[in-house]
Amino acid sequence: LRMNEFSLAKQSCEWALEIDPENIKAIFRRAKAHEGLIDYDLAAKDLKEAIRLEPQNRDLRKEYEDLKVRAKEDAKKQRELWGSAKIFDKERGL
């Protein structure tokens, strides 16, 4: 993850989870890999699963809340970027 090899990190976590499906560390790291791959839905799903397994873990809850904020900010940036792009130009008949 530190080297931004998100796909490789995700695959490593999936191998670990084949051996131990409730490995919190692997679930958390896979969530971070999903986030790095801009797949916020899967990242949130993994964090929810980690929280289900360790409901007392405040760090997981904070990470989940932070993820929701980052996802919302990213969605806003995307809307601003694509909202200002003129995909169809009425003057050119497109």
Q: What is the pLDDT of residues 39-62, one digit of tens each?
A: 999 999 999 999 999 999 999 999
Tokens of 83: 């909202």
List pLDDT tens digits, range 11-36: 999 999 999 999 999 999 999 999 99
Once rounded to an integer, what is the mean pLDDT over residues 50-75? 96
**Calpha distance 92→34 (Å, rounded):** 40
**Calpha distance 94→38 (Å, rounded):** 31
Cβ atoms of 28 and 50 within 8 Å: the answer is yes
The answer for residues whose C-beta is within 8 angstroms of residue 44's C-beta and 6 or more apart is 31, 64, 67, 68, 71
Q: How confident is the model at residue 94 (pLDDT cuts 50, 70, 90)?
A: very low
What residue has token string 């976590």? 13
